[in-house]
């Protein structure tokens, strides 16, 4: 009564809210954040965050490779272009300018032992003028600096510019990854020629490519909505109710985007699933309301009365289903990764919105416009035919055979075998990345081609795993600290996944020998503190990224062959074991920094969260189903198919080579959240019929005819919509579409 006696006010209120939130949704920004993709409360990540300012040289960065396609890097025209690119990157807002490294920056230095002692300077000669003499001097300096394989390619045909990124820009705002990526593309477009090729890798570029791909994602979202509208129209043969259904589903998305803007959220590549999810859930509930009203109108009931009848019959089931969705999605909040928590919060808010836009607004609007009388009569006629086993009734009668013990036994055995097979395969599910490059993008994307070029032409990859060596201020040059750091570097080098290790002790050896005429006998770590001081000083002068200003934070940097989960796990285990046996009060080894180190910790959190999430999710869904059905048998009937679906989802991930990571973790939970809707609608009708005295077969048949056929329709509609995602340029969205 409260709703339908004031239905005009309900419509006016929803219209006003829609206009307001629509304006807010139009102002929603699209961005990404490196910090939001990592588990910030994990102790290893706290180690990184606490020392981030002292690790600027190896923190979040972009690597720009400039290749001379018609020669080597010792070409005046190439070097002039490299200088312009270097200056353009230096001036970009968000660049940590003091730590930018290239052949043109004074941070990149050479050193050698001469008769007069140690000599050194910038790799780029101070008097460089492009002449043959200065080019030859540069060639000599590159060799003396030992940067071949790191800043200079092994074949000398390209060089790298390492661009560390600031956490905030000069105006104090968080770094806008989309804007920074666009600026990088502008630099590439300006300076790339038939003679010069520019490759760019790094989180900022990856995030920018994903954000750029969102425009095409919106096209896929539109395609999914159009496919849904066509399928529902084909079922109802009623334009007005179909348009109302799709429009109200889109209205829920608009409300959600507007509220996200008001709450200070941004739309990022990882939350792009949320709008479609809200659309799909809204479409499911709206279709049930429309189906009920259509059947009542077909029996001659007035549209206003039919809307009230359907509202009364399905409101509790719909509300329970939506609340179950809220709980199911809120379970993702247990995952200690901010981007997942924001996704969970946004999805939960979106589902709450559907209580108003679907459970309340759709019946009210249908009470005004109703459905086409011809469509209603056709629906009633088809239901009558189905009851007599004609048309689609043959399908429903076939399903009804499963209420017989012989057929049911076969179905249970088949489901058990299917679930067991899925579970067996799901045990092979891997955590993290399974392929080189960025698995979020297609293997043939520009980003992954650039990443492959760096791997093939540089001796050191862009996958850095750093262990922070912490000492009291001024303690990094102590003989004990140098010796233990050197032992850690040796332990890391024993792993086949480690290409090389860079640490302060390696440089101290060289400078110690340099102080004794380059004698190999002195290529060691000196026990004398005086000699250690003499070697550490020039080592840090030429490599300031290896210590902070107070000589208290010194990273040991391992360059990994790849960032696959098994490689990261092995290297992290080495670091943990070493820290467990060598930590003292004044000397601590703290994992983990660098892109690979952070990813290793993220994999740990994802692995723990995957199990915890499913346990809590199924526990919450079980409780809500029991409250709704008041029957433990009905709870089992609702949950067993969902459990089998979870096993099959993970088995499919194994078959497709998809690992569990930040981008894919929500899909497993969302499948359960969406699937429970169908169980609630089907079983609520069946239980009501059985409690009214109907037999199992009759109750099931009536449930299938009333809500079950719409469940099948919506499921097929959504599957037809998401299958278009398989052609998305964003691979993890394509993976999501296949899994959904």
Residue 478 CA to residue 465 CA, distance in Å, equals 24
Mean pLDDT computed over 351-361: 83
In SS3 terms, 543-608 reads as CHHHCCCCCCEEEEEEEECCCCHHHHHHHHHHHHHHHHHHCCCCCEEEEEEHHHHHHHHHHHHHHH
Q: How confident is the model at residue 413 (pLDDT cuts 50, 70, 90)?
A: very high
Contact 594, 58 (CB under 8 A): yes
Q: Helix or strand or coil: residue 168?
A: strand
C-alpha atoms less than 13 angstroms from C-alpha of 209 in its C-beta half-sphere = 21
Q: Give the range among 41-45, 573-577, 705-709 with minimum mean pLDDT.
A: 705-709
- The angle that helices 273-298 and 239-262 make with each other, rounded to 10 degrees, is 150
- pLDDT tens digits along 262-271: 988 888 777 7
pLDDT value at 694 more than 80: yes
- The CB density around residue 52, as the number of other CB atoms within 10 Å, is 14
Q: CA-CA distance, 232 to 294, in Å (whole number)? A: 13
- Is the Cα torsion angle 87, 92, 98, 100 positive or negative in sign? negative
Per-residue pLDDT reduced to its tens digit, 139-181: 999 998 888 988 999 999 999 999 988 877 777 777 888 889 9
- Say which residues have a Cβ less than 8 Å from residue 188's Cβ, sequence separation at least 6: 198, 200
Residue 13 CB coordination number (10 Å): 13
Coil, helix or strand at residue 242: helix
The pLDDT value given to residue 386:
62
% of the chain at pLDDT higher than 70: 97
Average pLDDT, the chain: 84
How many other CB atoms are found less than 10 A from the CB of residue 724? 18
Omega prior to 592 cis, within 30 of 0: yes
Any idea which residue has 């979040």 for tokens? 60
Give the separation between CA 615 and CA 386, rounded to whole angstroms: 40
Tokens (6 digits) for 460: 């050191």
Q: List the beta bridge partners of residue 481.
A: none
Give the pLDDT band of residue 391 (cuts 50, 70, 90).
low
pLDDT value for 530: 86
Rounded to two decimals, the pTM is 0.79
Locate all alpha helices (DSSP H) within 146-202, ordered by sequence: 177-191
Q: Please give the structure tokens belonging to residue 660.
A: 């569990």
3-state helix, strand, coil in the chain (%, to 5): 65, 10, 25
Query: From CA 227, how far away is CA 382, in angstroms rounded?
Result: 23
Total Cβ atoms within 10 A of residue 114:
10
Q: Is the dihedral of CA 16, 19, 21, 23 positive or negative?
A: negative
């Amino acid at each position: 009564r409260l709703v339908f006696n004031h239905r005009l006010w309900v419509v006016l209120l929803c219209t006003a809210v829609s206009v307001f939130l629509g304006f807010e949704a139009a102002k929603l920004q699209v961005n990404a954040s490196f910090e939001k993709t990592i588990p910030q409360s994990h102790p290893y990540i706290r180690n990184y965050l606490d020392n981030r300012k002292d690790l600027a040289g190896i923190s979040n960065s972009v690597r720009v490779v400039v290749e001379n396609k018609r020669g080597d890097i010792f070409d005046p025209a190439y070097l002039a272009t490299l200088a312009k690119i270097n200056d353009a990157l230096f001036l970009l807002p968000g660049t940590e300018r003091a730590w930018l490294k290239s052949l043109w920056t004074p941070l990149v230095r050479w050193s050698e032992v001469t008769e007069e002692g140690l000599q050194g300077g910038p790799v780029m000669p101070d008097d460089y003028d492009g002449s043959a003499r200065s080019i030859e001097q540069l060639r000599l300096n590159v060799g003396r600096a030992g940067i071949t394989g790191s800043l200079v390619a092994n074949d000398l045909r390209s060089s790298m510019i390492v661009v560390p990124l600031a956490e905030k820009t000069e105006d104090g705002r968080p770094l806008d990854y989309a804007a920074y990526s666009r600026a990088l593309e502008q630099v590439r477009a300006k300076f790339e020629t038939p003679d010069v090729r520019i490759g760019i890798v790094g989180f900022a570029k990856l995030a920018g490519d994903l954000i750029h791909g969102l425009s095409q994602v919106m096209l896929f979202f539109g395609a999914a909505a159009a496919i849904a509208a066509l399928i529902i129209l084909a079922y109802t043969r009623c334009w007005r109710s179909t348009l109302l259904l799709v429009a109200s589903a889109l209205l829920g998305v608009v409300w959600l985007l507007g509220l996200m803007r008001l709450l200070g959220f941004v739309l990022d590549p990882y939350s792009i699933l949320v709008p479609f999810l809200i659309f799909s859930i809204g479409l499911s509930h709206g279709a049930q309301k429309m189906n009920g009203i259509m059947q009542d109108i077909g029996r001659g009931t007035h549209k206003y009365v039919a809307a009230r009848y359907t509202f009364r019959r399905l409101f509790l089931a719909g509300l329970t289903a939506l609340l179950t969705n809220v709980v199911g999605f809120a379970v993702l909040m247990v995952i200690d990764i901010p981007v997942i928590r924001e996704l969970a919060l946004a999805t939960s808010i979106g589902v709450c919105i559907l209580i108003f836009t679907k459970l309340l607004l759709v019946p009210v609007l249908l009470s005004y416009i109703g459905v086409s009388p011809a469509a209603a009569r056709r629906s009633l006629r088809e239901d009558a035919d189905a009851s007599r086993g004609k048309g689609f009734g043959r399908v429903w009668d076939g399903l009804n055979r499963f209420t017989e013990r012989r057929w049911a036994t076969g179905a249970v055995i088949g489901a058990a075998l299917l679930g067991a097979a899925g579970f067996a395969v799901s045990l092979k599910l891997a955590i993290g990345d399974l392929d080189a490059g960025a698995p979020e993008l297609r293997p043939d994307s520009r980003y992954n081609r650039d990443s492959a070029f760096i791997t093939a032409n540089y001796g050191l990859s862009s996958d850095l795993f750093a262990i922070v060596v912490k000492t009291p201020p001024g303690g990094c040059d102590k003989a004990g600290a140098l010796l233990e750091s050197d032992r850690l570097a040796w332990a890391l080098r024993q792993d086949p996944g480690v290409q090389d290790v860079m640490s302060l002790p390696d440089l101290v050896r060289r400078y110690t020998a340099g102080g004794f005429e380059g004698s190999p006998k002195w290529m060691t770590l000196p026990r004398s503190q005086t000699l250690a001081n003499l070697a550490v000083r020039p080592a840090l002068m030429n490599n300031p990224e290896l210590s902070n200003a107070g000589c208290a934070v010194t990273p040991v940097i391992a360059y990994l062959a790849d960032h696959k989960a098994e490689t990261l796990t092995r290297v992290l285990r080495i670091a943990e074991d070493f820290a467990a046996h060598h930590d003292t009060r004044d000397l601590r080894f703290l994992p983990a920094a660098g892109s690979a180190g952070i990813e290793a910790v993220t994999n740990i959190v994802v692995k723990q969260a995957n199990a915890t999430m499913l346990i809590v999710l199924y526990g919450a869904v079980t409780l809500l189903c029991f409250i709704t059905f008041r029957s433990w048998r009905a709870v089992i009937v609702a949950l067993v198919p969902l459990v089998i679906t979870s096993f099959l989802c993970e088995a499919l991930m194994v078959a497709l080579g998809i690992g569990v990571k930040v981008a894919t973790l929500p899909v497993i939970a969302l499948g359960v959240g969406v699937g429970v809707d169908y169980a609630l609608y089907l079983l609520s009708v069946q239980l009501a019929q059985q409690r009214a005295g109907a037999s199992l077969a009759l109750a099931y048949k009536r449930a299938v005819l009333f809500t079950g056929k719409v469940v099948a329709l919506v499921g097929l509609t959504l599957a037809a919509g998401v299958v278009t995602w398989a052609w998305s340029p964003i691979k993890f969205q394509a993976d999501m579409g296949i899994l959904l």
